[in-house]
Amino acid sequence: MSRKNKTLGEYIIENQASFKYTSGELSRLINSIRLAAKVVNHEVNKAGLVDIIGTAGDTNIQGEDQQKLDVYANDKFIQTLTNRNIVCGIASEEEDDFISINSQDENNQNKYVVLIDPLDGSSNIDVNVSVGTIFSIYRRITPVGTPVKIEDFLQKGSEQVAAGYIVYGTSTMLVYTTGHGVNGFTLNPAIGTFYLSHPNMEFPKNGRIYSVNEGNYTHFPQGVKNYIKYCQMEEEDRPYTSRYIGSLVSDFHRNMIKGGVYIYPKSSKNSTGKLRLLYECNPMAFLAEQAQGKASDGFTRILDIKPNELHQRVPFFCGSKNMVEKAEEFMRKNP
């Protein structure tokens, strides 16, 4: 029975039976993410009020400055998942290596590992523009009750059992999939409850928005340059509109609702692109496919790429199916 004001908590319980493995562990895990999301949301909303903006002074493994809220969000998600003893391992964009949880405890029967980008679009924080959190969940492949190993994290994206994001925007939303479509929940901040506001989200097959950082244009592969020119051409339903927030979560969210394509290609300065396969591209690709969209590196399906390291980067083409396919056509001609 569908009711208009269904909460995320109710939805999780009702849909537990549709998971492949129904021990309730995955439901508890998603509940923990829901809790951490609320805590981080509270802090993100306060960012303009308290002295939490600015760089913490640390540099992460990828040589980028960490902002204070990155550190805060990272700590909160790790703390919540660790305290509730709900996963056996966590990998985060902000950590050099993966974290093994209760690895010495033979009674730890937890089966899932979580990979997170705790704060995505962090350069937007101090200018009051939307940021997000991205998460990706796999079943471990090593035996339960033993310490997790790197191979538990380096699984193909097609092995994900759940993935989602939180967008801290004009309203805060949690959007996720467990492989049965994509659903979006909006937070009512007055009472701290997420409500099912966007059931069965789908990318329109075609769209009129392209999202790419055109400041890097001269360094792009010829195929991407040609595709951008195609988007700008005065023909049929074109020119398309250019929209780029610089926060993957927000750009993806808008494109899923309105129809569009997001591209972060490789460039002559950066041969692998910028986005991380495990923390950003795989979860967004799983969501995209579950929402009838498409995600590739310009040639290959993202979910089919076998990762070889935690912080691996890949070019990313993602969004409305026909738009991604058109961009791929340009890439094949001029890679």
User: Which does residue 213 touch among Mn ion, ligand AHG, none (CB within 5 to 8 A, set by kind)?
Assistant: ligand AHG
List 90's β-bridge partners, or say none: 99, 114
> Pick from 330, 140, 133, 312: which is nearest to 220 by CA?
330
Q: Give 287's DSSP letter.
A: H
- Do residues 327 and 220 make contact, with C-beta atoms less than 8 angstroms apart? no
- Do residues 212 and 253 make contact, with C-beta atoms less than 8 angstroms apart? no
Q: Count residues contacting Mn ion (CB under 5 A)?
A: 4
Instruction: Kindly state the smallest distance separating residue 248's Cβ from Mn ion, in Å.
Output: 6
Token pair, residue 256, equals 């899923």
> What is the footprint of ligand AHG within residues 54-93 (CB under 6 A)?
93
Query: How far is 24 from 16, CA to CA, in rounded Å?
Result: 7
Query: Residues near 106 by Cβ (< 8 Å), separated by ≥ 6?
Result: 145
Using CB under 5 A, which of 77, 120, 155, 260 touches Mn ion?
A: 120
Contact letters for Mn ion, residues 191-230 (x by CB under 5 A): ----------------------------------------
> Pick from 250, 335, 164: which is nearest to 327 by CA?
335
Question: What amino acid occupies position 14?
Answer: E
A 10 A CB-CB count for 131 gives 26
**Phi, psi at residue 115, to the nearest 5°?**
-120, 135
User: Which does residue 290 touch among ligand AHG, Mn ion, none (CB within 5 to 8 A, set by kind)?
Assistant: none
Residue range at the interface with ligand AHG (CB under 6 A); choices 49-57, 116-124, 151-159, 193-201:
116-124
Q: Which is nearer to Mn ion, 120 or 297 (CB)?
A: 120
- Do residues 298 and 265 make contact, with C-beta atoms less than 8 angstroms apart? yes
Query: How far is 164 from 282, CA to CA, in rounded Å?
Result: 10
Instruction: List C-alpha distances in Å: 321 to 84, 261, 290.
Output: 39, 9, 12
User: Which does residue 115 touch among Mn ion, ligand AHG, none (CB within 5 to 8 A, set by kind)?
Assistant: none
Contact letters for ligand AHG, residues 213-242 (x by CB under 6 A): x-----------------------------
Does residue 121 bind ligand AHG (CB under 6 A)?
A: yes
How many angstroms from the chain centroid is the CA of residue 257? Answer: 16
Q: Which is nearer to ligand AHG, 109 or 268 (CB)?
A: 268
Instruction: Kindly state the smallest distance separating residue 89's Cβ from ligand AHG, in Å.
Output: 20
Using CB under 6 A, which of 80, 122, 255, 267 touches ligand AHG?
A: 122
Query: How far is 57 from 259, CA to CA, in rounded Å?
Result: 38
Residue range at the interface with ligand AHG (CB under 6 A); choices 106-114, 144-152, 246-254, 281-289:
246-254
> What is the footprint of ligand AHG within residues 176-215 (CB under 6 A)?
213
Query: How far is 318 from 264, CA to CA, in rounded Å?
Result: 9
Residue range at the interface with ligand AHG (CB under 6 A); choices 11-19, 79-87, 244-252, 287-295:
244-252
Q: Count residues contacting ligand AHG (CB under 6 A)?
A: 10
Q: Which is nearer to ligand AHG, 117 or 152 (CB)?
A: 117
Instruction: Kindly state the smallest distance separating residue 157's Cβ from ligand AHG, in Å.
Output: 17
SS3 218: helix
> What is the footprint of ligand AHG within residues 261-280 (CB under 6 A)?
274
For ligand AHG, the binding residues (CB under 6 A) are: 93, 117, 120-122, 213, 246-248, 274
Interface residues toward Mn ion, by CB under 5 A? 93, 117, 119-120
